[in-house]
């Protein structure tokens, strides 16, 4: 469901919707503050992966992605924080995407997420989980929106065009369906893992051992991901988009 500020008026049912919108925004703000100020968050904790990808679209080099994934906290506060910067050229302009995700081990379900996009298609998204739903505040050039997304026990956030988010699919077993949110596109998709295969992957001048996994989507956009033995993402391919992200920091 979507609400727009322009739709607000003075009738009782609209006022009720307005108060619901305000409650959602207050909740998102409070949980977002919790995300970025949690003990050990973002800049602290143990680094589980850090690196860079090159990004190509339909065979053309268009940008880069730098990221770091950290694990922090103990017990009920145990969490994994993934942050990064994706820079791509769109026509003559440069788009910069800065995602920040908090996930809960051991199933890597999304707790909170925010992404700031500058340049073409600028947008600001804040999402937090509360009970059986995710509440989101989205600000873009077309206006402000408040949305709710379904929450399942295994819901992950995998933003389109953010390769390091596939780290959170590394433990999905063959035949298991995973509920995935793509916040910028406002989509909810189901990805089902195929049987993994052991392959040799060429990264620059290097040949490395990898585990290739195909994720079939209920919306038709197949994803193929290569992981190393440590579960690090080496390469992501979405054939329907001509999208390829490939690690550059592990080349040597």
Average pLDDT over residues 171-185: 96
pTM for the whole thing? Answer: 0.83
pLDDT of residue 90: 87
Estimate to the nearest angstrom the gap between the alpha carbon of 108 and the chain centroid: 12
Neighbours of 210 (CB within 10 A): 22
**Residue 35: pLDDT over 60:** no
Q: What pLDDT was estimated at residue 6? A: 35
Largest CA distance in the chain: 67
pLDDT at 43: 59
215: β partners:
193, 223
Q: How far is CA 178 from CA 39, 70, 127, 194, 222, in A?
A: 29, 23, 19, 12, 14
Residue 194 has pLDDT above 70, yes or no: yes
What pLDDT, on the 0 to 100 scale, is given for residue 167?
A: 98
> Cβ-count burial of 11 within 10 angstroms (0-12 exposed, 13-18 middle, 19+ buried)?
exposed
Beta-sheet pairing, 206-217 with 223-227: antiparallel
Q: Is the pLDDT of residue 23 over 70?
A: no
Query: Residue 131 has which token pair?
Result: 């009970």
The predicted model gives 175-189 an average pLDDT of: 95
Confidence class for position 239, pLDDT limits 50, 70, 90: very high
User: What is the number of other CB atoms lying within 10 angstroms of the CB of residue 65?
Assistant: 25
Task: Give 204 or 41, the one with higher predicted confidence.
Answer: 204
For residue 80 the two structure tokens come to 């994994």
Query: Would you state the pLDDT for residue 71?
Result: 96
- Indicate the average pLDDT of the chain: 86
Instruction: Judge contact between 96 and 84, C-beta under 8 A.
Output: no
pLDDT over 50 (residue 18): no
Write out pLDDT tens, residues 39-80: 444 557 899 999 999 999 999 999 999 999 999 987 778 999
pLDDT band of residue 204 (cuts 50, 70, 90) is confident
pLDDT of residue 246 exceeding 80: yes
Q: What is the dihedral of CA 45, 191, 214, 88, to 10 degrees?
A: -60
The b-or-e profile of 154-169 (16+ CB within 10 A means b, else e) is ebbbbbbbbbbbbbbb
Residue 199 has pLDDT above 90, yes or no: yes
So what's the pLDDT on residue 75?
Answer: 76
Buried b (16+ CB within 10 A) or exposed e, 125-141: bbbbbeeeebbbbbeee
User: For residues 14 and 79, which has the higher predicted lDDT (pLDDT)?
Assistant: 79
The string of pLDDT tens digits covering residues 136-152 is: 999 999 899 999 999 99
């Amino acid at each position: 469901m979507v609400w727009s500020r322009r739709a607000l008026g003075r009738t009782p049912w609209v006022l009720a919707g307005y108060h619901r919108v305000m409650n959602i925004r207050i909740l998102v703000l409070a949980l977002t503050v919790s995300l970025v100020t949690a003990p050990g968050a973002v800049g602290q904790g143990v680094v589980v992966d850090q690196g860079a990808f090159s990004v190509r679209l339909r065979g053309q080099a268009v940008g880069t992605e730098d990221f770091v994934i950290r694990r922090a906290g103990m017990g009920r506060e145990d969490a994994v924080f993934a942050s990064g910067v994706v820079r791509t050229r769109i026509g003559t302009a440069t788009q910069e995407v800065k995602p920040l995700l908090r996930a809960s081990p051991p199933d890597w379900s999304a707790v909170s997420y925010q992404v700031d996009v500058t340049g073409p298609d600028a947008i600001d998204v804040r999402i937090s989980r509360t009970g059986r739903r995710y509440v989101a505040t989205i600000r873009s050039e077309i206006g402000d929106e408040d949305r709710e997304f379904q929450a399942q026990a295994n819901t992950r956030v995998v933003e389109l065009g953010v390769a390091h988010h596939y780290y959170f699919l590394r433990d999905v077993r063959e035949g298991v369906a995973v509920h995935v949110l793509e916040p910028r596109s406002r989509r909810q998709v189901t990805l089902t893992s195929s049987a993994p295969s052991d392959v040799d992957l060429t990264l620059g001048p290097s040949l490395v051992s990898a585990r290739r996994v195909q994720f079939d989507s209920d919306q038709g956009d197949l994803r193929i991901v290569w992981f190393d033995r440590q579960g690090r993402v080496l390469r992501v391919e979405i054939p329907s988009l001509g999208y390829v992200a490939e690690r550059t920091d592990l080349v040597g």
